[in-house]
Structure 1
Amino acid sequence: MDTRILTVASPAYLAEHGRPGHPSDLRDHECIDYQDPVTGRPFAWEFRRGQEVVPVAMPSRLMVSDVETMLRACVAGVGIAQVMVLGSAGLRRSGELEVLLPDWPDERFPLHAIYPTRRHRTAKVRAFTDFCVALLAEHEGQG
């Protein structure tokens, strides 16, 4: 399955730097990149709306390899970040992060559950994966 990717910033960052109106406006903002563990480079930023895709290469103020560090830096006003719906709902609900560019909602990131056998899942693994699917569905509805 997959989850939505949201572009977010703190109210303090937005008060100081303004709110981008289009993905291309991000070139004029400080951004926080997330390091791809396979390549060591930052994940590419793309914005999707239906069939329209806008890749954006922007200046990065910081590159992190830990989601919690990225979220904390974003909340602190360091820059704009791209985050998964899953794991950011509390910060969005509390107002610590605001969603930017909501009319570009179609960027997704794949999620996988990997378990060690080709046979049927054990009851524990099935319960856990079913729980994860339900949790993701709940958060997707709040995105």
Structure 2
Amino acid sequence: MDRFISMQAFTRVVDVGSFARAAESLDLPKATLTRMIQNLETHLGVKLLHRTTRRISVTTEGAAYYERCVRILADVDEAEQSLSHHNNNPRGTLRVDTISSLAQMVLLPELPAFFTAYPDLKLELTTNGKPIDLLQEGVDVVLRVGALVDESMVARRIGQLKLAIYASPIYLRQHGTPRTMAELQAHRCINYVSHRTGREVTWDLTRGEQRHELLLDSVLATNDSDVYLGSALQGLGLAYLSCALAEPYVRSGRLVELMTDWQGESLPISAMYPQNRHLSAKVRIFVNWAAELFARHPHFGEPARQAA
């Protein structure tokens, strides 16, 4: 029995909570994986997992062994990476989840250079954008917009997403242009539904010491950013859009920014990964690379801090 491979198999089963999903992620037959865990339990002389037809749970001994395995496997991974061009040439698959707009506008244009720099790294990029269990889903790092609520995650703020109110000339010709807060609240709008809460997102606007948090009546609400943008372009109502997403349509005349004396919200963009895992070289390199991309992006970079 290869104890190292067995430890990898055991931690994967615990992470995903399923023999079938673990076997798929390790590219092993389920029967082979089951036999490996059974042999490991026999070798250790303890039961690591409770198995029923519906669920898998970890025994007390299994939980303690899992924590040690995680540290050992992380140390081995770090040792291997440290011998590979001083930790700058990571290997293997890196699984990243983000939202479509960040992938399209920030990551994809720079991926050719990324793969030139790290030719032995494969990137598995998904755009679910929903709250996920990184360990169960086998995801290494996520990029998210907005306030962070999961304290089990390490989060590094890497940028910001600025919002403003926009409408198409089609809509404005039919309904007029709002210029005051009272006029704004009388207009039709399109609302965005948060993946995290399932609720329509409020519009936060500030002007000096004044602040308004609005939830306007909507003719349409959606949780899809492409549908949201498309609805605004079709003239269905006012929209509270990312400035980065709206900018090319403003240049082409298909969208107009409104209420420019009021400042829209700026939401943090964060890279997150599990805090109970050693930060592998490939995750560290990706997060540093992404942070650099966002820092120099004209729309997503943080404002420069003034010297004291």
Superposition TM-score tier, normalisation by shorter sequence: 0.7 to 0.9
**Where does residue 70 of structure 1 map in the other structure?**
228
What aligned pairs does 1:1-143 form with structure 2 within 5 A after superposition? Answer: 1-115=159-273, 119=279, 122-135=284-297, 138-139=298-299
TM-superposed CA distance for 1:50, in Å, is: 2.4
TM-superposed CA distance for 1:46, in Å, is: 2.1
The residue matched to 1:139 in structure 2 has which SS?
coil
The residue matched to 1:87 in structure 2 has which SS?
helix
* Equivalent residues of 1:45, 1:57 under 8 A apart: yes
Percent identity among equivalent residues? Answer: 29
* Equivalent residues of 2:179, 2:259 under 8 A apart: yes
* Equivalent residues of 2:190, 2:221 under 8 A apart: yes
Instruction: Find the aligned partners of 1:59 and 1:108 in 2 and give their Cα distance.
Output: 22
Cα–Cα, structure 1 residues 29 and 126, in superposed 2: closer, same or farther, change >3 Å?
same
Instruction: Find the aligned partners of 2:247 and 2:168 in 1 and give their Cα distance.
Output: 14
Write the letter of the residue equivalent to 2:284: T
Structure number with greater CO (CA < 8 Å, separation at least 6) is 1
Compute the RMSD of aligned alpha carbons: 2.1
TM-superposed CA distance for 1:31, in Å, is: 0.3
Residues 88-142 of structure 1: CA deviation (Å, up to 9, x unaligned): 221111111100000002522222122456647633331222112212xx1269x
* Equivalent residues of 1:50, 1:106 under 8 A apart: no
Instruction: Find the aligned partners of 2:263 and 2:278 in 1 and give their Cα distance.
Output: 35
Instruction: Find the aligned partners of 1:24 and 1:8 in 2 and give their Cα distance.
Output: 17
* TM superposition score normalised by structure 2: 0.42
Cα–Cα, structure 1 residues 129 and 24, in superposed 2: closer, same or farther, change >3 Å?
same
Instruction: Find the aligned partners of 2:300 and 2:253 in 1 and give their Cα distance.
Output: 18
80-89 vs 10-19, which moves further: 80-89
Larger helix proportion, structure 1 or 2?
Answer: 2
Aligned residues: 139
* Equivalent residues of 2:294, 2:300 under 8 A apart: no
Instruction: Find the aligned partners of 1:3 and 1:125 in 2 and give their Cα distance.
Output: 17
* Equivalent residues of 2:164, 2:264 under 8 A apart: no
Cα–Cα, structure 1 residues 118 and 80, in superposed 2: closer, same or farther, change >3 Å?
farther
In structure 2, the gaps of 5 or more residues are 1-158, 302-308
Write the letter of the residue equivalent to 1:92: V
TM-superposed CA distance for 1:72, in Å, is: 0.7
